[in-house]
Amino acid sequence: MYNHAAAIKAQCHHAEAPRPGATRFPEVHMQLIDDPDAMYRLLIQGVVDYAIYMLSPEGIVANWNLGAERAKGYTSAEIVGKHFSVFYSQEERDRDQPGQNLETARQTGRFEAQGWRMKKDGGSFWAHVVIDAVRDPQGNLIGFAKITRDISERRENELQVLEAKVLAEQYSAEMASLSRFLDSVIANIPASVIVKDAQTHRVLLANQQAEALLSVGGVNMVGKMLSECLPHEVAVYMDQQMGDDLRAGDIRTAETLISTNRGPKTLRSRTVLNRDPGNTTDYVLYVAEDVTVELAATARIHHMAHHDALTGLPNRVLFHDRLKTTLAQAQGSEKLTAALCLDLDDFKNINDALGHGFGDKLLRALSNRLRSELRDRDTLARLGGDEFAVVLPELDTAEAAEVTAQRLIQAVRPPFLIEGHSCSVGVSIGIALSPQDHDTPEQLMGYADMALYEAKRNGRNRFERFRAQLDEAARYRRSMETDLRTALHFGHLQLHYQPIVSQNGEQISGYEALLRWMHPTKGAIMPMDFIPMAEETGLIHEVGNRALNLACQEAANWGTEQTVAVNLSPVQFSNPGLVDAVALALADSGLAPARLELEITESVLLENSDENVNTLRALKALGVAISLDDFGTGYSSLGYLRSFPFDRIKIDMSFVREMANSKEALAIVRAITGMSNSLMIKTTAEGVETVEQMQQLISEGCSHFQGYYFGRPMPAAERLESVNE
């Protein structure tokens, strides 16, 4: 058999004798040198990191070292003599990979590759394989030297490095993308961003907004000191915001008005110090928003919330604040504070007659006049509609408030010239003083309002000071109001009927229904003592309905054709349901409409006359009669008689009473009856107390009579049923 070891030795140049002067080996080793075969065998067999073995030219394993045994699991006895293809997978064997590799080594002298190799136990490892063709000195192939190394671990490491590299590249790409994204955010946020190095104080970053708004000429700020690229004023401001006194963790916020490239702007800024993990200050970040527009809008909203849009004067909210503040400041001083309530007289009529546009102009002109009569420290407010109010602080005397009130009345007195109309309006004023009247804003205004009510009651276009009696009167009115509600609830309102006589005093043609309030403790209360209060509080609608329904029901039970007359308050005409209420009262009671008369006064025609005349026509269309009450006491315009076809005119009792002694009174009675007769309108003389009066009225042509001479108002059951009783 061919001596492989010898052949390998022949290939090995190291096998030469030691050079002269080389270390001398001990004797035993010298024996090995003398027997190179044994030496190489020992050497190769002792190598454990490499599988080293020989193959025959056909690929049969010829020998086997420890390294091979360790790498592949076969012992020498198990593998020597077997074909080396057992180290390949079945798939590789199927395509003759082992043969091809040997062929490569045979032709080129060497095959080298990495790949999977199989172990005895069926496992595999990643191997670095070298197959060298071994030839004898004559060049004949005598076999192959095969060196295999298990490099699974190295390959694993390489794979991990590769994977790490891929990940690093991915991460780097992500970071680059994130960085671009952040750059885009910083470039596009509607705020100015500046970052400076905390050590060198040079600008590291400034977005476009910051440069356009702040830097001199909008130039690039990066790399510069702030003082080099900002106007002096802005640089001083920046130094305040980004200065060295900022401590880590602090967030400095500020709202500062500064002069910028776009004019004066209020910047709302935040400055923070960024520290790196070593806790050394790294850079300073400044972010600022331009809040000029926002602040202006807030200011505008605030102004709108506190001022009246029409006149620009403080509104009720601000007025209340000012009054409160003034009262607080006045505490402990000798000075007085006055609260004035102002109300225009008959402003509603102006609005109705000339329109709201005109009314608005009048209010503006009027508020200018009022304002010019006041001191700077006084507050004039419009509370709404035609209501104004004034706070007069720091007065020495109560009279000073009266003097101012009088001046305000005088200022309003000259006519206003608006849109070619000359228009006059009066103002009534109520005054309350602190501390003598009260020292809380609410109570003081309540008292000023009571004084205003009194001024209106006393004839308007005047002022009144608050007095304790006004409070008592107001309390009385309030308690009466409560009582009246109770009275409505419990049916304490009754009707008394006064006869109306016709046929020269011989026949009762009907009755006037008159309200009586049967108060449980105060006794019977007459209409004049509670109707005005009912009109003020709006209770009149309920009271009026009650009277209407009661009158219709009671009259329906009389079993006669006599009429029943019910008084309507002018205030009831403001209720759009009035006509329906009358129709319902008729329907509910079954009273023939012709038996119902409604008495109105001239004031119904004075206010809102077009609308009210329409209501009267609708009432008349129901079939009821309409009477004009108390004629002769008001304006007594004959125009009223033309504007609506009244069924009856009632001559006020004052003329009847004075008729005997006053030629004027008699002339008026004569004029009314004469005119009424020619217009075919019935006339009722009120307040007839004597037979002489009746005879006189008969001779003047009066058709009907009413008064104590015939009978007083009585409950339905006790009413006078015939003149001859």
Q: How large is the angle between the packed helices 441-457 and 316-330, nearest 10 degrees?
A: 110
CA–CA separation, 51 and 507 (whole Å):
153
Pick between residue 326 and residue 703 the one whose CB is nearest to Mg ion.
703
CA distances from 143 to 133, 335, 399, 651 (A): 6, 130, 138, 156
599 binds Mg ion (CB under 5 A): yes
Q: Single out the segment in contact with Mg ion by CB under 5 A; choices: 132-140, 231-239, 459-467, 622-630.
A: 622-630
CB of 500 within 8 A of CB of 713?
no
Nearest Cα to Cα of residue 234 among 215, 255, 217, 253: 215
Pick between residue 351 and residue 627 the one whose CB is nearest to Mg ion.
627
CB of 437 within 8 A of CB of 466?
yes
CA–CA separation, 248 and 516 (whole Å):
86
Reduce the secondary structure of 627-667 to three states and give it as a string. Answer: EEEEECCCCCCCHHHHHCCCCEEEECHHHHHHCCCCHHHHH
Q: How far is the CB of 543 from Mg ion (least distance, A)?
A: 15
- Structure tokens that stand for 119 in this block: 């172990």
CA distances from 556 to 33, 38, 553 (A): 158, 154, 5
Q: How far is the CB of 706 from Mg ion (least distance, A)?
A: 9
Q: How far is the CB of 684 from Mg ion (least distance, A)?
A: 9
686 binds Mg ion (CB under 5 A): no
Q: How far is the CB of 650 from Mg ion (least distance, A)?
A: 6
Q: How far is the CB of 629 from Mg ion (least distance, A)?
A: 4
652 binds Mg ion (CB under 5 A): no
Q: How far is the CB of 652 from Mg ion (least distance, A)?
A: 10
CA–CA separation, 586 and 595 (whole Å):
10
User: Helix, strand, or coil here: 717?
Assistant: helix
Site size toward Mg ion (CB under 5 A) is 3
Q: How far is the CB of 662 from Mg ion (least distance, A)?
A: 23
User: Helix, strand, or coil here: 267?
Assistant: strand
Pick between residue 362 and residue 685 the one whose CB is nearest to Mg ion.
685
Q: Single out the segment in contact with Mg ion by CB under 5 A; choices: 122-130, 330-338, 394-402, 597-605.
A: 597-605
Pick between residue 61 and residue 514 the one whose CB is nearest to Mg ion.
514
Q: How far is the CB of 386 from Mg ion (least distance, A)?
A: 32
Q: How far is the CB of 377 from Mg ion (least distance, A)?
A: 54
CB of 462 within 8 A of CB of 478?
no
Pick between residue 327 and residue 651 the one whose CB is nearest to Mg ion.
651
Pick between residue 599 and residue 602 the one whose CB is nearest to Mg ion.
599
Pick between residue 311 and residue 498 the one whose CB is nearest to Mg ion.
498
Reduce the secondary structure of 669-681 to three states and give it as a string. Answer: HHHHHHHHHHCCC
Pick between residue 85 and residue 567 the one whose CB is nearest to Mg ion.
567
Nearest Cα to Cα of residue 132 among 27, 75, 54, 192: 54
Burial class of residue 182, CB neighbours in 10 A (0-12, 13-18, 19+): exposed
**Burial readout 481-514 (b: 16 or more C-beta within 10 A, e: otherwise):** bebbeebbeeebbbbbbbbbbbeebeebbbbbbb
Q: How far is the CB of 570 from Mg ion (least distance, A)?
A: 13
Among positions 345, 483, 629, 652, the unique one binding Mg ion when judged by CB under 5 A: 629
Strand bridging mode 648-651 / 625-631: parallel
Q: How far is the CB of 499 from Mg ion (least distance, A)?
A: 13
Pick between residue 378 and residue 629 the one whose CB is nearest to Mg ion.
629
Pick between residue 437 and residue 629 the one whose CB is nearest to Mg ion.
629
Pick between residue 45 and residue 633 the one whose CB is nearest to Mg ion.
633
Q: Single out the segment in contact with Mg ion by CB under 5 A; choices: 226-234, 262-270, 596-604, 700-708.
A: 596-604
Q: How far is the CB of 567 from Mg ion (least distance, A)?
A: 5
Dihedral sign of CA atoms 656, 657, 659, 660 in order = positive
Beta-bridge partner residues of 452: none
Q: How far is the CB of 318 from Mg ion (least distance, A)?
A: 48
Q: Single out the segment in contact with Mg ion by CB under 5 A; choices: 15-23, 190-198, 297-305, 591-599.
A: 591-599
Q: Single out the segment in contact with Mg ion by CB under 5 A; choices: 5-13, 232-240, 609-617, 627-635.
A: 627-635
Pick between residue 52 and residue 688 the one whose CB is nearest to Mg ion.
688
Burial class of residue 331, CB neighbours in 10 A (0-12, 13-18, 19+): exposed
Q: Single out the segment in contact with Mg ion by CB under 5 A; choices: 225-233, 334-342, 432-440, 595-603.
A: 595-603
User: Helix, strand, or coil here: 109?
Assistant: coil
Pick between residue 449 and residue 629 the one whose CB is nearest to Mg ion.
629
Q: 273: part of which helix (H) or strand (E)?
A: strand 263-275
Interior angle at CA 488, CA 483 and CA 490, nearest 5: 90
Site string for Mg ion, 540-569 (x = CB under 5 A): ---------------------------x--
- Name the site residues for Mg ion (rule: CB under 5 A): 567, 599, 629
